[in-house]
Amino acid sequence: MLRVGMLTSGGDCQALNAALRGVAKTLYNERDDVEIYGFLNGYQGMIYGKYKKLRPKDFSGILTRGGTMLGTSRTPFKLLDEPTPEGLNKVDSMKATYKELQLDALVMGGGNGSTKTANRLYEEGLNVIALPKTIDNDTWGTDYTFGFDSAIEIATKCIDDIHTTASSHGRVFVIEIMGHKVGWIPLYAGIAGGADVILLPEIPYDLNKVVKTIERRDQEDHRFTIIVAAEGAISKEDAALPKKKYKKKIAGRTMSVAYEIADDIFQATGREIRVAVPGHTQRGGQPCARDRVFATQVGVEAARGVLAGEYGFMVADKGREIVRVPMSEVAGRLKYIDPNCQLVNQAKTLGIVFGD
């Protein structure tokens, strides 16, 4: 009997169900003696022994369904060695659940922090494989993560819709797109949506350059300006602050960065400014076609690893090829945008302003 556990950890996103389906269908097609257990609400399910035995029919009809059939939660890696409120040792509890179910493998869909925990469990002796899940596309070692393309589609649709009202009223709009530490979604959606300004965490901005862009567009009779700001956009002044001082400053924020930027622009120009925040809609809804295909691919590759008895890797996309990357090389590392990368330079050539 081959017993496999599966869980989804961290923030939700589109195509998690497609990935789980890819794992299960491959295992069921290759062997007749497979049992699959789904842990509920991420690593919390392993810690507290909350799971359900899944059947082949549970994986039917979920390819197009967003979210995750297993539920998810955040279990911060930095708190992994702190006991639960009930006094449980988290790592020991997860190991005990794994052994109680006599699992041969654990397949985990998650982002950077979740993969760090997966690698810890692998180092503790469990057979673990990770799937690259995050809308932010910031996981090290892979060109692409499932959830990213779907989030871009939603963010781009938001920018498209704002264009018509901005042009009708001659307004400046600041659209806040998800991207706390890394700005892949606002970069791609900003270009796809025809933004005039894109503000990213990796490229600290000068407000004066943003204001000059608005004034120039006014002089050219464009009447409106679309500014796409990552939720982690940072000014040059804030970027120059010591790390602790900056963290203290943002901890005391009473509004998101988009509203701060809008207020700064209003103070400098007197222009009517509006803010749009699509927020968690970027995580929701059905996965796009590309996410469905890629999530299926990584699920199949993970299942192949289980069938071959090979573990300790994250499935990745490298040059459109599905490969395996050691979790030890991936865990906890972020894939930042290079401010001098080709895409940013092409956007600048197009006339898009990044405020640097």
Report the C-alpha gap between 291 and 300 in whole angstroms: 14
Contact yes or no for 15/116 (Cβ under 8 A) = no
| Burial class of residue 135 in the structure, from the number of CB atoms within 10 Å of its CB (0-12 exposed, 13-18 middle, 19+ buried) | buried
Exposure of 39 in the CB half-sphere (CA atoms within 13 A)? 27
Beta bridge partners of 34: 2
d(CA 108, CA 9): 7
Closest CA to 128 of 139, 119, 137: 119
Distance CA 222, CA 154 (A): 25
What is the spatial distance between Cα 6 and Cα 40, in angstroms, rounded to a whole number? Answer: 9
Tokens 């459109």 sit at which residue?
320
Q: What is the dihedral of CA 110, 111, 114, 117, to 10 degrees?
A: 120
Q: Looking at 136, 138, 149, 317, which residue is catalytic?
A: 136
Q: Which of 133, 113, 127 is nearest to 68 (CA)?
A: 133
State yes or no: is 206 an active-site residue.
Answer: no
- H helix count then E strand count, the chain: 13, 11
Alpha helices by DSSP H, the chain? 16-30, 43-48, 90-100, 112-123, 148-169, 184-192, 207-219, 236-239, 243-251, 257-269, 289-308, 327-330, 342-350
DSSP state of 56: G
- Nearest C-alpha neighbor of 231 from the set 162, 277, 189, 272: 277
DSSP 285: S
Nearest Cα residue to 116 out of 87, 67, 79:
79
Which DSSP state fits 337? P
Spatial neighbors of 65 by CB under 8 A, at least 6 apart, are 17, 286
- Catalytic residues, by residue number, are 136
